[in-house]
Amino acid sequence: MADPVVLERPRLGRLYVRLRGPLDAATGALLCAALREALAVTGDVTEVVLDLRAVDDVTAGHAALLAAQSLIARAGLRSAHIVARPRVRGLVMRVCHELDDPGARPVPSEAMAEAWLARHDVLGFADASFDQAERLLAGLRGRGVDV
C-alpha cells in the first residue's frame, strides 16, 4: 500500500505534499509530523501545496486538516489546497475560515495553485468571500430589497 502522506523535496521555496486515502486521525498525525520535520529542516520554505485530490474520505478529517493548516499558518506560510471533491473543498474552506488564514485557499488544479501562490496581493479566501457578500447586499439594497 502506498504511503498516505508524501512530501516532495522543496523547490524554490515551495513544499509539495500529496495525500491519498482517508484523511483521518492517523493520516493527520503523519501529515503534522512530516510538516514539522520539513519546516524545521528546511528554513527556505515560503509556500505549501497540499494536493488532496486522492483523498477519498474526509469524515474524520476536520481535526487533522485543522492541525496541519495551523502549523502552516503559524509558520507564516501561504498555502494552496488542491481539491477535486466538493466535500474536501468544503472542509478546506471551513478550516480556512476557522483559522482566519488569509494565506490559505482551496483551488481546483495545480495551475490555479501556482496562480494563487504567485499573487501575494490577492485577498485571502475569507476576505474575498466577505467582499463578495458585501457587493451582493449592496446590489440588493440598491434595488430596494430590505436585507
Q: What is the DSSP letter of 10?
A: P
Residue 42's pLDDT is: 61
What torsion, rounded to 10 degrees, do the Cα atoms 103, 106, 107, 108 define? 170
Q: What are phi and psi of 107, to 5 degrees?
A: -135, 155
Give the pLDDT confidence score for residue 145 in this predicted structure.
Answer: 83
> Residue 57: what pLDDT?
92
- As averages over each run of 10 residues, the pLDDT of the chain (147 residues) reads 85 91 94 91 84 94 95 94 95 94 94 90 57 77 84
Dihedral, 56, 58, 59, 60 alpha carbons, nearest 10 = 130
Q: Which has the closest alpha carbon to 80: 44, 120, 21, 131? A: 120
| Residue 108, φ and ψ in degrees, nearest 5 | -90, -10
Q: Name 55's Cβ contacts closer than 8 Å, sequence gap at least 6.
A: 19, 20, 21, 22, 23, 61, 85, 88
Q: What is the reported pTM?
A: 0.80
Given this model, what pLDDT does residue 40 score?
85
* pLDDT score at 137: 80
